[in-house]
Amino acid sequence: MTDEFSVESVYAELLGRAPENKMEPRLAPLFRAMDVLGEPNKAFPIIHVTGTNGKTSTSRMIESVLRAHGLSTGRYTSPHLSKVTERISIDGHPVSDETFVRIWDEIRPYLQIVDSELEAEGQPRLTYFECLTILGFAIFADQPVNVAIIEVGLGGITDATNVGDGQVSVVTPISLDHTDLLGDTTEDIAYEKAGIIKPGGYLISAAQPLDAAQVLLEKAKEVGVPFRFEGVEFGVESRTVAVGGQMVTIQGIAGRYPDLLVPLHGAHQAQNAAVAVAALEAFFGGEKELDFEVLQEGFAAVTSPGRLEVVRTAPTIIVDAAHNPDGIKASAAALQEAFTFTRLVPVVGVLKEKDAEEILRELRESLGDVAVEYCFTQSNSPRAVPAAELAELAIDLGFGEDNVHVAEKLDDALEWAVERAEANEDLSGAVLVTGSITLVAEARILLGKTEA
């Protein structure tokens, strides 16, 4: 039996390579690695998921319904919330420590061959994300899984995951994020994302900005694959708030599914559910309606940790991984629809590569009067914007000096926010932790949520 330390030692070894946000725009070394490993990227059908927001929730929905169909699944997502093994899930659960370490030990000598070749050419060794991606493919091939749901790390064309060819390519809503790497317009970003659309596949896309939709459409036509867009061929017909989530009626590409219970909050999660349904129909051939009971069973089992997740009550503490303006807007709307808090105390931390100004502006606008006092903090990530800097930016944006609190340490921030939420006389105050996935990950661990 492998102990925790072994996973930690592999993780440390991986982190010793180029860090996560330093991804190399290249694919040749990935294909070389797949070649020396016997092409694990071709060992199973793939549903490949890209987009700006909603990738992980959509991936988890697709996975849950495939499992309800009796299929063995692999799911590769990023980043992780509490442990690196969450990124590589087998049948809905993080891969076992033992398998994670065993497969890494098996593939390490082969990766050293690729590293040596890269160094001889004066190129950087395989990066952290590239190695994790190769490990994911190797683990899924070792199982072997019936189908893998692979979430793109960043972009599409040269993302490490693009070493796999999706039988279905799924594009969730595209908006501006990672503009330093992907481009300044949704059209530029769509060019990157369109890189996962391959001959022999099938494109399923959420509703997109017009310029992005055009790029995806042209790419699908160029490689000769069928395409279906939300709002044209499928979508959410209606939805109503329900206990623990919402009732959603979805018009798919092959059938209509009335009153599905989706145990996640917000219009954006209903949209993710519609995209997941269309992707599942496409995976099974695109012509045949899904079995309603199996679909409902799959949706009923869906969880999406860190996405409007209630991690404590009295007062309620909610964590949400929104980390760009569109994500903040969708989460704020869902929060106000699903909960009846009269006072909300946001605890906010943002990473340096994000548009902090727009995130704060959107928070203030979307939450309105329900959030008056804000606590600015920072995660332990070296990429975190210092708390005082965020607070200064908030004051410049008109948040009001008296309403801004700074706490460099997250535990101090939570303590202050809980105190402020409890000061509400009608006991309907709550705390919202948001702005960065690293902050949400740390909050979950602090509040005793070690599983994701």
More confident residue, 19 or 91: 91
Residue 182 — very low, low, confident or very high, per pLDDT cuts 50/70/90? low
pLDDT band at 188 (very low <50, low <70, confident <90, very high): confident
Q: What is the mean pLDDT of residues 231-239?
A: 97
pLDDT tens for 14-60 read: 999 875 555 568 999 999 999 999 999 999 999 999 998 899 999 99
Check residue 23 and give its pLDDT: 59
Q: What token pair was written down for 383?
A: 């990429």
Q: Give the model confidence (pLDDT) of 294-314 as tens digits.
A: 999 999 999 999 999 999 998
What is the distance between the alpha carbons of residues 370 and 199, in angstroms, rounded to a whole number? Answer: 49
Query: What b/e readout covers 282-315, taking b as 16+ CB neighbours within 10 angstroms?
Result: bbeebeeebeeebbbebbebbebbbbbbebbeeb
Give the pLDDT confidence score for residue 411 in this predicted structure.
96
Tokens 């699908």 found at: 220
Residues of the chain with pLDDT > 70, as a percent, come to 96
pLDDT in the model for residue 32:
98
Q: What is the pLDDT of residue 157?
A: 82
pLDDT of amino acid 391: 97
Sequence-distant (6+) residues with CB within 8 A of 366 are: 328, 329, 332, 333
pLDDT value at 1 more than 50: no
pLDDT band at 424 (very low <50, low <70, confident <90, very high): confident
d(CA 108, CA 96): 18
- Token pair, residue 313, equals 């009550």
Answer yes or no: are the C-beta atoms of 133 and 58 closer than 8 Å: no
CA 287: distance to chain centroid?
A: 29
**Structure-token pair, residue 436:** 């960065």
Q: Which residues contact 449 (CB under 8 A, 6 or more apart)?
A: 82, 305, 309, 311
Whole-prediction pTM value?
0.93
Please state at what angle helix 356-367 crosses helix 325-338, rounded to 10 degrees: 20
pLDDT tens column, 203-230: 999 999 999 999 999 999 999 999 999 9
- What radius of gyration, in Å, describes the C-alpha atoms of the chain? 22
pLDDT digits (tens, 9 = 90+) for 313-356: 989 999 999 999 989 999 999 999 999 899 999 999 999 988 99
Integer angstrom CA distances of residue 318 from 376, 414, 436, 442: 16, 11, 14, 13
**Locus of tokens 């018009």:** 251
Q: Is the pLDDT of residue 179 over 60?
A: no
Q: Got the DSSP string for 424-439?
A: -TTS-EEEEEES-HHH
Mean pLDDT value across the chain: 93
- Residue where the block lists tokens 């899984």: 145
Q: State the average pLDDT over residues 277-302.
A: 97
Q: What is the pLDDT of residues 100-152, one digit of tens each?
A: 999 999 999 999 999 999 999 999 999 999 999 999 999 999 999 999 999 99
Report pLDDT for 25: 80
Bin 259: left if φ > 0, else alpha if -120 < ψ < 50, else beta.
left
pLDDT value for 156 = 74
Provide the H-helix boundaries in 306-367: 325-338, 356-367
Residue 402 is predicted with a pLDDT of: 93
